[in-house]
Chains A and B, each alone.
Chain A
Amino acid sequence: MHSVAILTISDLWVERGESDLLNGLSFSARSGDVVHITGANGAGKSTFFKALLGLLPILSGSMTFNGDSLTQQRQNFLNNTLYIGHSAGLNGALTVMENIRWYLPKCSEKIVEQALSELSLGAFAETQLHALSAGQVRRVALVRLWLSEQQIWLLDEPFTALDQGLISMLEAKMAAHVASGGIVILASHLPLAHLSYLQVEL
């Protein structure tokens, strides 16, 4: 099973305002792959994620997941995907714990608490999100990765606002995820120090 491509992107173009982006992006990811998308600001990294998730229509090209074309059948893909974009996607009115309960209602109390303390959020479990610092909010978003069951992680600049210690921790987490058969696609301006990865330049 290891060599079968799960996600295949070929010759992808997306129209955004005045310009056509992605220049026929093509790659394929098998389970165990880390795909690192790089490119200058405005090159189209976020645009790629949005096209993949169906938030933007594509101009031409194809995207397949387990052999199904994403433009026709995206449900499976979405069920197996965890996306964290530029904004953390958390509800400011809720506490840290309530946000996690919203995304992961089935996780046991103990596992959640362990993840929180690993990310040094233990003391903030009952704090409302808008009382946290920017980096702490990013950490809360990462709790979803720590506890995720999804196979595919789509991370748009996940290192933003994180301190050095957490950056290495996140890399280790990604390594563990792909080691257990997952796929990570991330866009970032930082080189990955502790991982082997497939680099795609936009």
Chain B
Amino acid sequence: MTYLSFFKAECLTLFRSKQRVVNALLFFVLVVVLFPLGIDPSADFLAPAAGGIIWCAAALSVVVSIESLYKESYADGTLTQLVVSGLSLPWLILIKVGVYWLAMMLPLLLLTPVFAQMLFLPSDSLLVLLATLLIGTPGLFLIGSIGAALTVSLKQGAMLMVLLILPFYFPIIIFSTAAIKAIQFGLPYGGLLALLAAISLLALVVAPVMTSLCIKASVR
């Protein structure tokens, strides 16, 4: 096994189970739709809330769908093979999470302008929204990967995983929506984007190691 062959296998596996990604995106769409339906469809409410709505939907769909990231490989023993492969487990995890991030975020970034329009988000805010998604979501995926590894041995771990991981998403959601608010009020938002980048970078350093510790404790 090499890093490259693992990357290829991951891409293929994800391509074969593309329904998983599609489901996550549909979930995202549904959560977005809940807000106009459940609260208020007027532009007065939606325009200022749009950034927050899209971010909450994104965070929820990430945390729910990433829960099963390691389930299959845990069940069929390939996770054990990764641990004993002699390759560095944190790097393998980074590859796995990276592939999943690409697969989910590309379509989500394409969907976002459509939903921004439907939620009456002003067009100058749209760019900031896309930037926050691009910079902030790696953090969501990386932190989510830790939760997925923590609960990989549980049959019904989804609820526990959400309970554990969602609080760690708060800063990312807060800074992202604050950046979108800032542009709506004409305030500078660069510092907030830098904060988001810092969180994602921190997650990039910490999460693969933490995830590999959890995985090593789970496959035995």
Contact = CB atoms under 8 A, between A and B. Distances in A.
A56 B220 CA distance: 6
Nearest to A150: B86
Contacts of B8: 101-102
A79 B2 CA distance: 11
Interface residues of A, number: 28
B85 A94 contact: no
B87 to A, nearest CB: 9
A93 B16 contact: yes
B81 interface: yes
Given A98-B12, A103-B1, A105-B2, A91 B84 contact: no
Interface in A79-120: 79, 81, 83, 85-94, 98-99, 101-103, 105-106
A91 B2 contact: no
B9 A98 contact: yes
A90 B219 contact: no
B216 interface: yes
A55 interface: yes
Given A79-B86, A102-B6, A55 B219 contact: yes
A78 B17 CA distance: 31
Interface residues of B, number: 25
Interface in B25-81: 72-73, 76-78, 80-81
A90 B5 contact: no
A53 interface: yes
A41 B13 CA distance: 35
A55 B80 contact: yes
B91 to A, nearest CB: 14
A85 B77 contact: yes
A147 to B, nearest CB: 13
20 contacts: A53-B83, A54-B84, A75-B86, A81-B84, A83-B84, A85-B80, A87-B76, A87-B77, A89-B76, A89-B78, A91-B78, A92-B72, A93-B17, A94-B9, A94-B12, A99-B9, A101-B5, A101-B9, A102-B6, A105-B4
Interface of B: 1-2, 4-6, 8-9, 12-13, 16-17, 72-73, 76-78, 80-81, 83-86, 216, 219-220
